[in-house]
Protein backbone atom coordinates (compact mmCIF):
# COMPACT_ATOMS: atom_id res chain seq x y z
CA UNK A 1 0.00 0.00 0.00
CA UNK A 2 1.60 3.24 -1.16
CA UNK A 3 0.13 6.41 0.29
CA UNK A 4 0.08 9.55 -1.82
CA UNK A 5 -0.38 13.06 -0.43
CA UNK A 6 -2.20 15.61 -2.55
CA UNK A 7 -2.83 19.28 -1.78
CA UNK A 8 -6.17 20.59 -3.00
CA UNK A 9 -7.92 23.95 -3.10
CA UNK A 10 -11.71 23.51 -2.79
CA UNK A 11 -13.85 26.47 -3.82
CA UNK A 12 -17.39 27.18 -2.65
CA UNK A 13 -20.11 28.88 -4.68
CA UNK A 14 -23.67 29.93 -3.97
CA UNK A 15 -26.39 28.00 -5.83
CA UNK A 16 -30.05 28.43 -5.01
CA UNK A 17 -29.10 30.55 -2.00
CA UNK A 18 -26.96 27.73 -0.57
CA UNK A 19 -23.20 27.45 -0.22
CA UNK A 20 -22.05 24.37 -2.15
CA UNK A 21 -18.67 22.97 -3.27
CA UNK A 22 -17.40 24.36 -6.57
CA UNK A 23 -14.24 23.47 -8.47
CA UNK A 24 -11.18 21.78 -7.01
CA UNK A 25 -7.61 22.54 -7.98
CA UNK A 26 -4.58 20.43 -7.16
CA UNK A 27 -1.41 22.23 -6.09
CA UNK A 28 2.10 20.78 -5.68
CA UNK A 29 2.76 22.00 -2.12
CA UNK A 30 1.01 22.78 1.16
CA UNK A 31 2.11 26.41 1.09
CA UNK A 32 0.98 26.66 -2.54
CA UNK A 33 -2.47 25.40 -1.58
CA UNK A 34 -2.76 27.92 1.24
CA UNK A 35 -1.60 30.83 -0.93
CA UNK A 36 -3.90 29.87 -3.82
CA UNK A 37 -6.92 29.39 -1.52
CA UNK A 38 -6.34 32.77 0.09
CA UNK A 39 -5.92 34.49 -3.27
CA UNK A 40 -9.01 32.83 -4.77
CA UNK A 41 -11.15 33.76 -1.77
CA UNK A 42 -11.28 37.32 -3.09
CA UNK A 43 -13.21 36.09 -6.14
CA UNK A 44 -15.26 33.32 -4.50
CA UNK A 45 -17.61 33.24 -1.52
CA UNK A 46 -15.17 30.85 0.16
CA UNK A 47 -12.22 28.48 -0.28
CA UNK A 48 -10.42 25.81 1.70
CA UNK A 49 -6.93 24.35 1.38
CA UNK A 50 -6.81 20.60 2.02
CA UNK A 51 -4.21 17.90 2.52
CA UNK A 52 -5.55 14.58 1.24
CA UNK A 53 -3.76 11.28 1.87
CA UNK A 54 -5.01 8.31 -0.14
CA UNK A 55 -3.85 4.85 -1.21
CA UNK A 56 -2.20 5.33 -4.60
CA UNK A 57 -3.37 1.94 -5.86
CA UNK A 58 -6.99 1.75 -4.66
CA UNK A 59 -7.76 5.45 -4.27
CA UNK A 60 -9.10 4.74 -0.76
CA UNK A 61 -9.05 7.87 1.40
CA UNK A 62 -6.74 7.60 4.38
CA UNK A 63 -7.20 11.13 5.76
CA UNK A 64 -8.24 14.64 4.78
CA UNK A 65 -7.07 17.66 6.74
CA UNK A 66 -8.21 21.27 6.39
CA UNK A 67 -5.07 23.40 6.25
CA UNK A 68 -6.93 26.71 6.04
CA UNK A 69 -10.34 28.23 5.32
CA UNK A 70 -11.00 31.61 3.77
CA UNK A 71 -14.33 33.38 3.40
CA UNK A 72 -17.54 31.39 3.76
CA UNK A 73 -17.26 27.62 4.17
CA UNK A 74 -20.26 25.39 5.02
CA UNK A 75 -20.54 24.57 8.74
CA UNK A 76 -20.58 20.84 8.03
CA UNK A 77 -17.61 20.85 5.63
CA UNK A 78 -15.13 19.34 8.10
CA UNK A 79 -17.60 16.57 8.98
CA UNK A 80 -18.21 15.79 5.33
CA UNK A 81 -14.49 15.09 4.84
CA UNK A 82 -14.54 12.32 7.43
CA UNK A 83 -17.81 10.85 6.28
CA UNK A 84 -19.84 12.81 8.81
Helix (H) or strand (E) holding 3, with range, is strand 3-15
Q: What is the pTM of this model?
A: 0.89
Looking at residue 14, its pLDDT comes to 95
Looking at residue 57, its pLDDT comes to 92
d(CA 62, CA 3): 8
12, burial (CB in 10 Å: exposed 0-12, middle 13-18, buried 19+): buried
| pLDDT(66) > 90 | yes
| pLDDT(84) > 60 | no
Q: What is the pLDDT of residues 12-42, one digit of tens each?
A: 999 999 999 999 999 999 999 999 999 999 9
Amino acid sequence: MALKTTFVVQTFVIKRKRLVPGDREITPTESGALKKAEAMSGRMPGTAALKVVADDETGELESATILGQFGEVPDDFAESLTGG
